[in-house]
Amino acid sequence: MTQLPSSVPTGLFIGGQWRDASNGGKFVVEDPATGQVLAEVADATPEDGMAALDAAAAAQESWARTAPRVRGELLRAGFEAVTARAEEFAQVMTLEMGKPLAESRGEVAYGAEFLRWFSEEAVRIYGRYSTAPDGVNRLLVTKRPVGPSLLITPWNFPLAMATRKVAPAMAAGCTVVVKPAALTPLTTLLFAKVMEEAGVPAGVINVIPTSRSGATTAPLFADSRLRKVSFTGSTEVGRVLLKQAADGVLRTSMELGGNAPFLVFSDADLNAAVDGAYNAKLRNGGQACTAANRIYVHSGIAEEFSEKLAARVAGIQVGPGIEDGTQLGPVIDDDALVRIGGLVDEAVATGGKVLTGGHRMDRAGHFFEPTVLVNVPREARVLTEEIFGPVVPISTFDTEDEAIELANSSEYGLISYVFTKNLARALRLGERIETGMLAVNAGVISNPAAPFGGVKQSGLGREGGEEGIEEYLETVYIGIGNPYAS
């Protein structure tokens, strides 16, 4: 068994207590780099899910009345604690998810920053007071927390996706039930332990890892005490959750799938564009909703761009993320390997050409060669479906209008990438591309101070920035009679 830090809990965290599942059940968490078992984790049942909601509901009123400064200071204490234990978090994350240690350390810094950002936003929840236009009544508008919230996080960024949801909820005065992905629950459990040690009151944060997500969370959706659902994951699952949320008219935040276009125009700094594509595609092994999924390059520079990028990709050091020097780790599981291989094979069968990579690696664990494909037909599934792996498909365009048409041809609209030296063009693209975020001459733009989210089938709502806390607040209008009436 691969060694985990002994500090990592493996139970459920409900009402401030670490406990076993109600039926004693457990599920296995594996290291995707070796296939070895890392830990056995308590497998929450529907009864455990309801117990977590009971705890969150019981703590809601007192937490909502807790002074904003106190809520903020607890989040700040969490930031300090996570930062102090950065190496421990990075090791756990790399072991259960597979990314290189350097990237895990980057995620710890990024994830912790949400705690610091929203510790500062907790004291900036404002309302307004005004005179009605007819001069009679007074209008008082205030904010209050939505209430107990269910937060469902994905496996690919196990710390950052937890902090990006927990921090604004806590800052707003909401208690939470966190359901981490079964593939990577350990980082979230460690985070809950650290927040407990930082002084967060019992019931404010509850964590229910489970191998049966739908069955465990369904009773929560049916309970009127639950008032908010935030989900990060596939669009297919998001649609199901939206239907479930409709019966209770729950507030929802949905950060769903992506199929990001990466546009390189003829006037782009070619080396910067290659660096940007490398970072936008291969960060996290390509297993990110923000990953550049469709690379469209102006036909006049496509060959040079492709050769430069392929040379860069061919030199990547692949291996277990825990080993020094590793630049690319495994994909999450064998199902992912099969799916990625199928996308590549179909692209080649329909006219695409492999410049480097293209195959599953013959070694223990779930490794796929970093791959660059050119001449990819526009209808190939590797361009129309989210890859979630280290595969770079390249196609071409000739005009700006054609590039915009290609960018908008997907049902998704999370993020788009543009490389050009023409500022006017960048502004036009910002207005014409159907996307929630636009990266201009940059391969990574996610930042806790900025609103993260998409349009179309990529979801609803925003996380991060000033906008992030609003997802957990209700607006209340109080009308006051004329104070001058006799």
Active site residues: 255, 289
| Distance from C-alpha of 353 to C-alpha of 435, rounded to nearest angstrom | 29
User: What is the SS3 string spanning 370-427?
Assistant: CEEEECCCCCCHHHHCCCCCCEEEEEEECCHHHHHHHHCCCCEECEEEEECCCHHHHH
Token readout for 229 is 């659902």
The answer to whether 21 touches 42, Cβ cutoff 8 Å, is yes
Q: Give the H/E segment covering residue 130.
A: strand 128-131
How many helices and strands in the chain, by DSSP H and E? 15, 22
The answer to whether 222 touches 431, Cβ cutoff 8 Å, is no
Single out the residue of 255, 294, 267, 316 nearest to residue 446, CA to CA: 255
Whose tokens are 């996610």? That residue is: 446
CA distances, 426 to each of 196, 271, 390 (Å): 46, 18, 27
Burial of 299 (0-12, 13-18, 19+ CB in 10 A): middle
Token readout for 108 is 């710890």
Listed in sequence order, the residues at least 6 apart from 399 whose beta carbon sits closer than 8 Å to its beta carbon are: none
297-301 contacts, C-beta under 8 A, 24 or more apart: 297/264, 297/394, 297/395, 297/396, 297/397, 298/264, 298/265, 298/266, 298/396, 298/397, 298/398, 298/403, 299/396, 299/397, 299/398, 300/266, 301/264, 301/266, 301/268, 301/270
301 phi and psi, to 5 degrees? -125, 5
